[in-house]
Structure 1
Amino acid sequence: MSGVLVSLTEQSLDQTMEYLSYMQLNGFNSIFTSLQIPEEDPQELLEPLTQIGRFALGHNMLFMVDVSPRTFNHFSLQQLKDSGVTGLRIDNGMEIGEIAGLTHEWRVALNASTIDQAFLDGLRGEQANFASLEAWHNYYPRPETGLELAAFQNQNRWLQSQGLTVAAFIPGDGDLRGPLHEGLPSLEKHRHLSPFAGFLELVHECFVDHVLIGDLSVSSWTMQQFQAWNEGTVLLGVENQRPSHVWESVHHNRPDIARDVIRSEEARQHFSGSILPEHTVERPTGALTIDNDKYLRYCGEFQIVLHPLPADERVNVIGYVAQRDIPLLPFLHKRRLPFRFLATTSYCE
């Protein structure tokens, strides 16, 4: 499952609804917002909350709201239910017995970073309905306060072993949320990483079941990558692209995984003919290369360079992976995810 965060006050309600419609059409099926932002006036929140809740209900989307005991000074549980809220994300401040009681009527998410065995044992002792429980990490607006990777992975592995699904946030790369506008990741290493790279790492390396975009929008390029992912491929941007037959194909790394390069399993199967030596220059990380006639039977071999390699008169450089997509290469290499290309700039000498 993937989802989006929306603010009840930082954008107009019309902007928010337009964004939700767009994201829902592109496969995002959950919505998250907070009712415990100190700067927000509770009296201004009920109308946007209700409009968003109606949209979620009409499109079969999960609508999860961040709450604390202070929230219930302004909203009753019945008001939240009537507004279309389907789940409560509880950060801290509530007693175990209160949380256990909520699980019999609500989908309840706990703070994934602070759950321990004693807490879960306490919930079991209070007869909590574990089928309604999930574990959702925080997002961290302040730079340098996001979570550390190894501890995050270990915690998530343990949470899943306890039967809990895990959710976490990646930053957007469009309109960033206040008050700092510096990204809303769960992992600090994702703060300045492309959202799609963060998404792949959470899903494939971090034992995360649900990924939500923490900021208010994503760029058109990131959206294209998520659309391609929904269709089954990883989309890579290409710079300084030269003509080649490889651009129109979907590729996989060969199962006999090489150390220095990603080798297309498909390229040589679909090629016969001659390739003259051209642009046989040094090959930095992300260089896209094709072997020319001088490489004899390897002519047509298509590779993505993982570690800088010297120039070779037998190897033509036909483009470069866009810098922001370099972090995607390990997932194509070891996990052999299918990939294809889209030019981001036209070639100029």
Structure 2
Amino acid sequence: MDGVLVSLTEQSVDKTVEYLKVMRSAGFRAIFTSLQMPEEDPSRLLAPLILIGRFAAEHNMLLMADVSPRTFASFSLAQLKEAGVTGLRIDYGMENAEIAELSQSWQISFNASTINEEFLHDLRALGANFDSLEAWHNYYPRPETGLGWDGFVAKNEWLQSQGLKVAAFIPGDGILRGPLHEGLPTLEQHRGVSSFAAYLELKQQGFTDRVLIGDLSVSDWTLQQFRAWKEGTVLLRVREQRAAQVWEQIHHNRPDIARDVIRSEEARRQSTGSIEPENCVERKAGALTLDNNLYKRYTGEFQIVLKPLPADERVNVIGYVEEADLLLLPFLQQSGHPFRFLASPPGNE
């Protein structure tokens, strides 16, 4: 159950609900918002929270609210429940006995970085419902402060071994949250990276059960990638695209995985007609190539280049994977997932 972050104050609730409709259709089923905003009048937060909670209930979505003891000076648990909140993310300030009691009737998440063995032992002794407990990492608005990969993965492996589901944030590429507008990733290496590439890395390699988009929206292109992924296909942007039948096909990397290229399992056997030599230039990483008639039995072989290769008069370069999507290529090389192409949107060429 992946999700999105929404702000109760940074954009209108109507715009937020429209965004939630779009993301729900793309397979996202969790909503995270914060009630820890000391600069805001709490009375301004309740009306948008109720509308978002109503949407969450109607569309079977988890609504997780970031809370602390200060929150309960303004909102009672009954009030939050009535507003549609179904989960509480507790960062600090609550006694373990209170948390154990809350876990009997609420989905509860903690700051993943602060969880240790003593804390979990205490919760077990207090009878906490571990089926309701999760570990959610923070997001980091300030550049250079996000987590490192190795420590993140090691922590997640341990948390999962303790029976906890793990969540982390990736940046959006639409409207970025203030005040810095530099993305809200958990991992520093994901700052400025394609949202979909960051998502795939966490889901495939990061021991992460739930991924949430930390900013206020994603681009139309990224939305297309998530929708394609919901159907099980990786969508790649192409620039400098030359006419070829491979653009209409769905491809898989061959099971005998090559070192230097991704080889389409389907393209050569579906190839028809003559392919004359054209644009036989140096092949940089991300080049999309088609073997021409000079390659004899390999005519129609379609590849994605993974490392720079020299020009070859037998190989036509017919396009390039958009730079932001190059991070997806190692995943495609190893995973066996189907992939297809789409012309890069205007402004990305």
What's the TM-score bracket when you normalise by the shorter of the two chains? over 0.9
2:319 corresponds to which residue?
319
Query: Residues 238 and 320 of structure 2 are in contact (CA less than 8 Å); yes or no, is this contact kept in structure 1?
Result: yes
- The CA distance in 1 between the partners of 2:116 and 2:251, in whole Å, is 43
Query: Residues 241 and 345 of structure 1 are in contact (CA less than 8 Å); yes or no, is this contact kept in structure 2?
Result: no
Which letter does structure 1 place at the counterpart of 2:100? A
- The CA distance in 1 between the partners of 2:297 and 2:201, in whole Å, is 37
TM-score of the pair, normalised by structure 2? 0.97
2:296 corresponds to which residue?
296
2:127 corresponds to which residue?
127
SS at match of 1:101: helix
Count of residues in correspondence between the two structures:
346
> What is the 5 A alignment of 1:158-177?
158-177=158-177
- The CA distance in 2 between the partners of 1:331 and 1:112, in whole Å, is 26
For residues 108-161 of structure 1, what are the alpha-carbon distances to aligned partners after superposition, in whole Å with 9 as ceiling and x for unaligned?
011112211111111111111101111111111111111111111111111111
1:201 corresponds to which residue?
201
Which letter does structure 2 place at the counterpart of 1:335? S
SS at match of 1:334: helix
Using the TM superposition, give the Cα deviation of residue 190 of structure 1 relative to its aligned residue in structure 2, in angstroms. Answer: 0.6
TM-score of the pair, normalised by structure 1? 0.97
- The CA distance in 1 between the partners of 2:299 and 2:39, in whole Å, is 63
- The CA distance in 2 between the partners of 1:277 and 1:224, in whole Å, is 34
Confirm or deny that 1:29 pairs with 2:29. yes
Query: Residues 199 and 211 of structure 1 are in contact (CA less than 8 Å); yes or no, is this contact kept in structure 2?
Result: yes
RMSD (Å), alpha carbons: 1.1
2:333 corresponds to which residue?
333
1:246 corresponds to which residue?
246
For residues 11-60 of structure 1, what are the alpha-carbon distances to aligned partners after superposition, in whole Å with 9 as ceiling and x for unaligned?
01111111112222222111110011233221210111111111111111
Work out the percentage of aligned pairs sharing the same amino acid: 68
1:281 corresponds to which residue?
281
Confirm or deny that 1:212 pairs with 2:212. yes
Using the TM superposition, give the Cα deviation of residue 200 of structure 1 relative to its aligned residue in structure 2, in angstroms. Answer: 0.2
2:181 corresponds to which residue?
181
- The CA distance in 1 between the partners of 2:73 and 2:160, in whole Å, is 34
Confirm or deny that 1:222 pairs with 2:225. no
> What is the 5 A alignment of 1:81-100?
81-100=81-100
2:269 corresponds to which residue?
269
Which letter does structure 1 place at the counterpart of 2:168? A
- The CA distance in 2 between the partners of 1:154 and 1:214, in whole Å, is 22
- The CA distance in 1 between the partners of 2:49 and 2:272, in whole Å, is 60
What stretches of structure 1 move > 6 A for 4+ residues in a row?
Answer: none
Query: Residues 240 and 345 of structure 1 are in contact (CA less than 8 Å); yes or no, is this contact kept in structure 2?
Result: no
1:146 corresponds to which residue?
146
1:6 corresponds to which residue?
6
Which letter does structure 2 place at the counterpart of 1:275? I
- The CA distance in 1 between the partners of 2:203 and 2:345, in whole Å, is 30
